[in-house]
């Protein structure tokens, strides 16, 4: 019997009709045992390849060309380092960071634009919307991220690892013709396996796969396959890299003084504030780069140049930064200049925004933990002479701050606590960590570092068919179609387009050529991103891009249309049809019209449901009378 027949040949329609995951059913369990094992194998091999690629690029570019060597964490190499000022050619640093950004930008925007950024958000979005991930994305992500991080760009290795294994999960679902539900589970399983392998934290990775999808909820169905895949991925990666935790910490870090809870609580509040600054700063820099009017593939080079210039002053912002975290856990922290420790969290935020927000490739999980570690190190450095009962070594505060800052801003408190505990081989600080993470979450509120996270499962398209909106899955767009609004021509100056949008008091309008072929949607926000002095010379066609061409057809379901509204934050959704190979606008949808269609269908269904209940009750009474 082939693997495909085992995995793809079960009666999934019956399975979908039941509530729950159905893990108690043997064929479901065997199916996901095979799928999870395959995803875990690829996660482990992908983590090995990616890890080695970063090391190779860093050794050639930073080591041989610049002559600079950053420290490694104790579980991954030597903690010795060569200061940048002692390197033979420190002036080459901005050059190599610029070239790394340029090559990464060329690779991403020529072959897979969706591979830009940190990767985890894209994998989360793919889960919620059931979108397949193109087969080329994992390879492009691996190459571009290795170039970005290895040349000194500030980024983490977990986002690319997650997207690599999540991409394989999506590819596996396509090859085996699995349904949308199984595709989503395979993608989430890949997220956990990739992160669990690269961080040598299988339990934390598995829990993260379930927790990172929502701000205030958990995808419990993902836990079992993610555990299997994460264990397999960790085993494969551990066989290559060793089984020691990433960080070496003293053995006597146990929590023994209740007085310290006050300082851990204060640290948690501080981490929550810096976490908010991380999210706001990262996406603020990302938005600033999106407004720059030059080719997208060139923007990561500019980001790399600026990171290189910052790195000349404070080299601790370069690369992943885990080696510096290792040094901050030791007693040598007392000798560090205080100004560096105080500036480091904010300089790392800026460097990460410049490296990844510019269109480069890398993760934001790792930098988040480095930022948290820097906050903990600065807190200890400032507080040790002043605060009674503070730990004698900085390691406890550094570890708890790592958990609190990223656990809070990622809305994954349990997963991040477990992951950092596995990365340090220390479980004795979980009690103060729970306090610090809880307070950080209170400060963070609903803000998140992951834009694709949804609040709860009720808002996810992955669960829409199991909610009251299931009626929309059987209704088509043509049942809620609105007539076309005015359209713009592509050669119209942006100043005239802006005036028309303001006159009509609408935020978005369609663009079509003289033959009536639909070209996309223009928003008022896009127009206003162009400098006012240039709007008279710039044309509508110049600001249109692929992001403006989201549309549906008459035969699409209202369920899919509503998912597009939530995914792209649209004001309205154009409805098109294909004539002679070209798209033509025939109308619009709004979210309000879709919800009205749902209410109408619900009102129509209620009398039928009432009659059905009456029939069932009458039949039951007749049966009881017959027995009597």
Q: What is the pLDDT of residues 153-180, one digit of tens each?
A: 999 988 788 888 999 999 998 898 888 8
pTM of the model: 0.74
Whether 560 and 424 map to the same domain: the answer is no
The answer to whether residue 474 scores a pLDDT higher than 50 is yes
Q: How confident is the model at residue 375 (pLDDT cuts 50, 70, 90)?
A: very high
Is 455 contained in some domain? Answer: no
Least confident stretch, 267-276, 406-415, 463-472: 463-472
CB-CB neighbours of 124 under 10 Å: 23
Q: Encoding tokens for residue 486?
A: 């005015």
**Residue 353: closest CA among 312, 313, 401, 310:** 310
Residues 194 and 58 both lie in one domain: yes
**Residue 123 and residue 67 in contact, taking contact as beta carbons nearer than 8 Å:** no
Query: Mean pLDDT across the stretch 413-432?
Result: 93
CA separation for the pair 443, 464 (Å, rounded): 30
Q: Are 169 and 190 in contact (CB under 8 A)?
A: yes
**H or E element at residue 233:** helix 223-241
Asked if the structure places residue 143 within a domain, the reply is: yes
Out of 409, 444, 479, pick the residue that ends a domain: 444
Q: Do 434 and 556 lie in a common domain?
A: no
Q: Among 72-76, 101-105, 593-597, name the one with the lowest average pLDDT.
A: 593-597
Tally of structural domains, the chain:
2
Q: pLDDT at residue 591 above 80? A: no
Residue 615 lies in a domain: no
Q: Which helix or strand (DSSP H or E) is residue 595 part of?
A: helix 591-627
Q: Are 297 and 105 in contact (CB under 8 A)?
A: yes
Pick the last residue of a domain from 390, 409, 444.
444
Query: What is the mean predicted confidence (pLDDT) over 183-200?
Result: 93
186 domain-assigned: yes
Whether residue 601 is contained in a domain is answered as: no
Distance, in Å, from the CA atom of 512 to the CA atom of 550, rounded to the nearest integer, reads 14
Q: pLDDT digit string (tens) for 119-150?
A: 788 888 888 877 788 888 888 999 999 999 99
In this prediction, residue 14 carries a pLDDT of 39
* Banded pLDDT at 466 (limits 50, 70, 90): low
What integer pLDDT is reported at residue 611 of this predicted model?
Answer: 53
Based on the domain organization, do 428 and 307 belong to the same domain?
yes
Within this chain, do residues 417 and 504 fall inside the same structural domain, yes or no? no
Pairing of strands 573-579, 582-589: antiparallel
Pairing of strands 518-523, 508-512: antiparallel
Residues 440, 472, single domain; the answer is no
- Domain of 230, CATH number, reads 1.10.3080.10
Query: Which residues constitute the domain of residue 487?
Result: 467-595
pLDDT digits (tens, 9 = 90+) for 479-494: 777 787 778 888 889 8
Compute the distance between CA of residue 163 and CA of residue 315 in angstroms, rounded to an integer.
28
482, 389: one domain:
no
pLDDT digits (tens, 9 = 90+) for 35-57: 999 999 999 999 999 999 999 99
CATH number at residue 516: 3.10.580.10
Q: Is residue 453 part of a domain?
A: no
Token pair listed for 327: 């040094």
Among 522, 525, 514, 519, which residue's Cα sits nearest to residue 493?
Answer: 522
Question: Would you say residue 621 lies in a domain?
Answer: no
Nearest to 402 by CA among 416, 414, 383: 416
What confidence tens digit (pLDDT) does each residue in 14-26 have? 334 444 456 667 7
Q: Does residue 370 sit in the same domain as residue 472?
A: no
Same domain as 167, residue 89: yes
Same-domain pairing of 368 and 403: yes
d(CA 220, CA 226): 10
- Identify whether residues 213 and 256 lie together within a single domain: yes
Residue 484 resides in a domain: yes
> Which tens digit of pLDDT belongs to each residue from 315-351?
999 999 999 999 999 888 988 888 999 999 999 999 9
- Is there a single domain that holds both residue 415 and residue 512? no
């Amino acid at each position: 019997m082939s693997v495909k027949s085992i995995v793809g040949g079960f009666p999934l329609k019956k399975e979908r009709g039941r509530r729950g995951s159905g893990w108690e059913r043997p064929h479901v369990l065997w199916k996901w045992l095979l799928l999870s094992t395959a995803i875990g194998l690829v996660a482990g091999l992908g983590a090995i390849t990616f890890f080695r690629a970063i090391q190779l690029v860093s050794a050639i570019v930073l080591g041989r060309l610049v002559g600079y060597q950053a420290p490694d964490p104790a579980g991954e190499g030597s903690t010795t380092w060569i200061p940048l000022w002692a390197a033979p050619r420190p002036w080459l640093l901005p050059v190599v960071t610029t070239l790394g950004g340029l090559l990464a930008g060329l690779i991403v925007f020529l072959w897979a634009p969706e591979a830009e950024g940190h990767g985890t958000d894209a994998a989360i979005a793919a889960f919620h919307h059931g979108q397949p991930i193109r087969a080329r994305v994992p390879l492009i992500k691996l190459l571009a991220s290795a170039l970005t991080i290895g040349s000194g760009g500030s980024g983490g290795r977990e986002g690319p690892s997650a997207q690599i294994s999540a991409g394989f999960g999506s590819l596996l679902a396509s090859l085996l013709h699995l349904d949308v539900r199984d595709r989503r589970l395979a993608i989430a399983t890949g997220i956990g396996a990739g992160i669990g392998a690269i961080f040598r934290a299988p339990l934390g990775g598995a829990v993260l796969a379930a927790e990172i999808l929502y701000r205030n909820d958990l995808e419990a169905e993902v836990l079992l396959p993610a555990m299997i895949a994460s264990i397999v991925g960790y085993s494969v990666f551990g066989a290559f890299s060793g089984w020691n935790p990433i960080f070496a910490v003293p053995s006597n870090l146990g929590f023994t003084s209740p007085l310290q809870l006050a300082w851990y609580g204060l640290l948690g509040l501080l981490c929550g504030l810096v976490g908010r600054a991380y999210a706001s700063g990262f996406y603020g820099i990302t938005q600033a780069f999106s407004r720059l009017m030059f080719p997208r593939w060139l923007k990561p080079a500019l980001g790399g140049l600026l990171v290189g210039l910052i790195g000349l002053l404070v080299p601790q912002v370069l690369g992943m930064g885990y080696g510096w975290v290792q040094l901050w856990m030791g007693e040598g922290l007392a000798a560090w200049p205080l100004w560096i420790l105080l500036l480091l969290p904010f300089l790392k935020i800026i460097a990460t925004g410049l490296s990844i927000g510019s269109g480069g490739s890398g993760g934001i999980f790792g930098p988040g933990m480095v930022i948290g570690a820097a906050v903990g190190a600065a807190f200890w450095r400032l507080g040790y002479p002043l605060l009674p009962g503070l730990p004698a070594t900085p390691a406890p505060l550094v570890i708890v701050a790592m958990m609190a800052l990223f656990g809070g801003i990622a809305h994954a408190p349990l997963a991040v606590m477990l992951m950092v505990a596995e990365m340090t081989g220390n479980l004795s600080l979980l009690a103060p960590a729970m306090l610090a993470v809880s307070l950080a979450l209170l400060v963070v509120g609903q803000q998140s570092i992951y834009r694709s996270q949804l609040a709860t499962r009720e808002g996810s398209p992955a669960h829409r068919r199991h909610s009251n909106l299931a009626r929309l899955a059987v209704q088509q767009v043509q049942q809620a179609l609105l007539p076309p609004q005015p359209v713009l021509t592509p050669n119209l100056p942006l100043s005239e387009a802006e005036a028309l949008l303001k006159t009509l008091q609408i935020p978005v309008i369609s663009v079509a050529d003289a033959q009536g072929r639909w070209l996309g949607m223009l928003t008022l926000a896009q127009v206003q991103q162009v400098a006012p002095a240039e709007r008279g010379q710039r044309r509508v066609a110049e600001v249109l891009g692929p992001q403006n061409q989201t549309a549906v057809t008459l035969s699409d379901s209202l369920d899919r249309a509503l998912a597009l509204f939530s995914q792209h934050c649209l004001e309205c959704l154009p409805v098109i049809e294909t004539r002679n190979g070209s798209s033509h606008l025939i109308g619009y949808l709004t979210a309000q019209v879709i919800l009205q269609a749902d209410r109408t269908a619900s009102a129509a269904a209620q009398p039928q449901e009432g009659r059905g209940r009456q029939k069932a009750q009458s039949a039951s009474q007749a049966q009881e009378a017959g027995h009597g």
